[in-house]
């Protein structure tokens, strides 16, 4: 709800794109957000979506974690299950 219309989200691990497809089908993830993965796609991203599974993170995930605060943390109960970081210069609009 907070990302601008047509935003691009870099997803890691790449297999998580399939899971986000299920969320889309259930109406829990916006259809206008473009999902990408792979190192070549990272520079085009407005947002970076990572599962809380650092053993599957790429180098970019560790850089993001060490340099910025996530703009959103998804929780399953009390445990964080995913993070979203905004690209430099990108805003995360208030709801």
Question: Looking at residue 95, what is its pLDDT?
Answer: 41
The reply to whether 1 falls in a domain is: no
- Cα–Cα distance, 66 to 14 (Å, whole number): 21
Q: Determine contact, residues 30/55, Cβ cutoff 8 Å.
A: no
pLDDT along the chain (95 residues), means of 10: 88 90 88 92 94 95 94 94 88 54
Quick one: CA dihedral 89, 70, 94, 3, positive or negative? positive
pLDDT of 34 reads: 93
| Structural domain contains residue 3 | no
Q: What total number of domains does the chain contain?
A: 1
**Cis (ω within 30 of 0) for the bond into 43?**
no
Within a domain: 94:
no
Domain of 50?
A: 8-86
């Amino acid at each position: 709800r907070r990302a601008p219309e047509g935003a691009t989200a870099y997803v890691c691990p790449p297999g998580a794109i399939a899971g986000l497809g299920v969320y889309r089908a259930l109406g829990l993830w916006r259809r206008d957000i473009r999902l990408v993965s792979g190192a070549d796609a990272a520079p085009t991203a407005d947002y970076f979506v990572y599962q809380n599974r650092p053993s599957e993170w790429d180098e970019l995930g560790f850089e993001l974690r060490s340099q910025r605060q996530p703009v959103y943390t998804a929780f399953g109960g009390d445990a964080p299950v995913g993070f979203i970081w905004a690209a430099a210069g990108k805003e995360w609009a208030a709801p």
